[in-house]
Every structure is written in C-alpha cells, then in structure tokens.
Amino acid sequence: MAETLVVAEGLGRVYPGAVPTVALEGVSFQFDAGEFAAIVGRSGSGKSTLLNMLGLLDTPTHGSLMLGGRDVSRIGSSERAALRNELIGFVFQYHHLLPEFSVRENVAMPALIAGRRLDADLTKRVDETLDVLGLSGLGGKGANDLSGGQKQRVAIARALMNRPPLVLADEPTGNLDTESTDAVYDLFRTVNREWGTSFLIVTHDQEIASMTDRIFEIADGKLSQDVRNEFARPTRSPSGDPARP
Ligand SMILES: Nc1ncnc2c1ncn2[C@@H]1O[C@H](COP(=O)(O)OP(=O)(O)O)[C@@H](O)[C@H]1O
Ligand SMILES: [Mg+2]
C-alpha cells in the first residue's frame, strides 16, 4: 500500500469581504505518495486556492487537511513554514529566478536565505540536482543567460533541492512553447518515476492533463471530477521516448 500523503475532508476557503468569495467548498480526496495527477478547471474556479492550501501557503477556513500524516488545518505560521520546507516543492508559472545571481545560487537560494553558506556540501547537492534535470555544467552561468525553458528547469531544480515528497505546480508551462512544455512534463515524469515524488500539476493544457494518471477537475470551487486516467500516455508523441535525466 502506498503511503497516504494528503487527506482533504470538506476543505473550503472563503475570502472575507463585503461580499465574501467562496473560492473553495467541500473538497474531499486522498492522494498517495508516488501519484502523478493534473488539476484542471476554468480560470477562477479555485485551482490556485486549493494548491496554496495544500502547499501550506494559505489556511483553510473550513474542513480539515492532513499532510504526511499531520493535521495541518490550523497550525501556526512557523510550523507551517517548517513543514512546507520539508514536504513541498513549488513550481509556478513564472520562474522567479533572481537575474543577478548564478544558476547555482538560484537553486541554493532557499538554503542561503535560511542562513546556510554555499559550501562544498551544498554545492554538491545543487550540482547533483542540476544533473538530474539535464542542466549539468550550467551552475556557473548567470540566470539571465538561459532560455525560457532552461530557466523553468532551474526553478524546478530549486523546488527539488530538499527532495520533497510532493511537488505542487501551478500552470508550470503556461509561459512556455510546446517543446519546453514537453521537456518540463518529461522531467516531472522522470522525477516521479526515479524518486517516487508525487506531483499535482495545475494545467490548461489538455494534452498534458491526458498524460497524467489522475485528473481532478475543479468547477466553481468544488471538486467536480476525480478520475483515474488509464489511458495515460508517457509522451505527447505516441512513438516518443521520454527524455532521460
Ligand atoms: N486573495 C483573494 N481575495 C479574494 N478573492 C480571491 C483571492 N484569491 C482568489 N480569489 C477568488 O477566488 C476564486 C478562485 O480563484 P483562484 O483559486 O485563483 O482560481 P484559479 O486558480 O482556478 O484561476 C476567484 O473567484 C478569485 O477571484
Ligand atoms: Mg490560478
């Protein structure tokens, strides 16, 4: 039996205001270690709200959420930050790299901010992570000297530095061309297969969704579908071979 990573029960988020916004309502599901899933739904349906709660960036106003066996529904901000650091890797639509720093420094940035030095150990860890993402040898380059697709791969490397069991990606290919989109998808799949990392990927790209093993659909803040995708194809092209790291 796979370990259960996420248990959401009646999860909800209401944004207060003169007219409160019910962004998420009654969302219940379980998600296991090693799963590879997409979250789809119209703009404004509540996908980012859900991801932000799963990623401990935001707190639910209703229901309960267990992450890695811990009840995180109502924990305080320092515990939240520590657990996020341990359990979650985030990939966003925009890479948020710091242009004046090297690739290596960008990947190490969360650790540097936490007060670590870029010593031999940390450098080794960064370079191993860059290797897995097919970015060997780019560590010394300036973040600005990379293509859009490479920048997003560096952002993925940064998200994987702590080897989190769960990666949450919010429209990670929304800003990329088809070729770079496929490269990102292949990387996610490879990391999922090689390390057993779980992925929840918010996407507008139907083809990408169709290549995942499970598809969640959010409509008007509710979980409207949760289907196993038995027809998941490994790559976009039927004959294609997934890129190896
Ligand atoms: N910080 C916020 N304050 C108030 N309303 C918000 C906030 N963030 C999102 N919303 C509203 O919550 C709903 C869901 O938004 P969101 O989760 O961003 O949707 P999606 O990611 O699917 O496009 C929308 O109606 C949006 O306007
Ligand atoms: Mg969104």
Domain count for the chain, please give it: 1
**Looking at the domain assignment, is residue 94 inside a domain?**
yes
Residues 48-71, mean pLDDT to the nearest whole number: 96
CATH number of the domain to which 169 belongs: 3.40.50.300
Q: Residue 207: inside a domain, yes or no?
A: yes
The residue type found at 174 is: G
Ranking 41-45, 80-84, 105-109, 230-234 by mean pLDDT, the lowest is 230-234
Q: Which residues line ligand 1 (CB under 6 A)?
A: 15, 21, 23, 41, 43-49
Say which residues have a Cβ less than 8 Å from residue 241's Cβ, sequence separation at least 6.
Answer: 235
Lookup: tokens for 52: 């932000």
Burial of 33 (0-12, 13-18, 19+ CB in 10 A): middle
Return the exposure string of 68-94: e unless at least 16 CB atoms fall within 10 Å of the residue's CB, then b: beeebbebeeeebeebbeebbbbbbbe
Q: Give Cα 222 distance to the centre of its chain.
A: 21
* 30-50 pLDDT per residue, tens: 999 999 999 999 999 999 999
Q: Nearest C-alpha to atom 26 of ligand 1 is from which residue?
A: 44
Q: Is residue 168 part of a domain?
A: yes
Q: How confident is the model at residue 236 (pLDDT cuts 50, 70, 90)?
A: low
Q: How confident is the model at residue 231 (pLDDT cuts 50, 70, 90)?
A: confident
For residue 243, pLDDT beyond 80: no
* pLDDT tens digits along 111-145: 888 889 999 999 999 999 999 888 999 999 999 99
Domain containing residue 87? 4-228
Q: Across all residues in the chain, what is the average pLDDT?
A: 92
What pTM, to 2 d.p., does this model score? 0.92
Q: Is 242 within a domain?
A: no
What average pLDDT does the segment 99-114 reach? 92
* 236 is a domain residue: no
pLDDT band of 163, cuts 50, 70, 90? very high
Instruction: Evaluate if residue 15 carries a pLDDT over 80.
Output: yes
Answer whether residue 218 is part of any domain. Answer: yes
The most confident of the ranges 24-38, 78-92, 126-140, 219-233 is: 24-38
Distance 148 CA to ligand 2 centre (A): 20
CA of 53 to the centre of ligand 1 (A): 12
**Is 233 part of a structural domain of the chain?**
no
Q: Give the separation between CA 45 and CA 51, rounded to whole angstroms.
A: 12
Alpha helices in 173-240 (DSSP H): 178-195, 206-210
Using a CB cutoff of 5 Å, list residues around ligand 2, an ion: 48
Q: Over range 159-168, report the average pLDDT.
A: 95
**Averaged pLDDT for residues 94-116:** 92
Statement: residue 60 has pLDDT above 70: yes
Q: pLDDT band for position 233 (50/70/90)?
A: low
The answer, yes or no, to whether residue 245 has pLDDT greater than 50, is: no
- What's the confidence (pLDDT) of residue 135? 92
pLDDT recorded at residue 1: 63
Q: Which atom of ligand 1 is nearest to the CA of 50?
A: 17
Which position has the token pair 């150990």? 121
> Which residue's alpha carbon is at the smallest distance from atom 18 of ligand 1?
48
- For residue 180, the Cα-to-chain-centroid distance in whole angstroms is 17
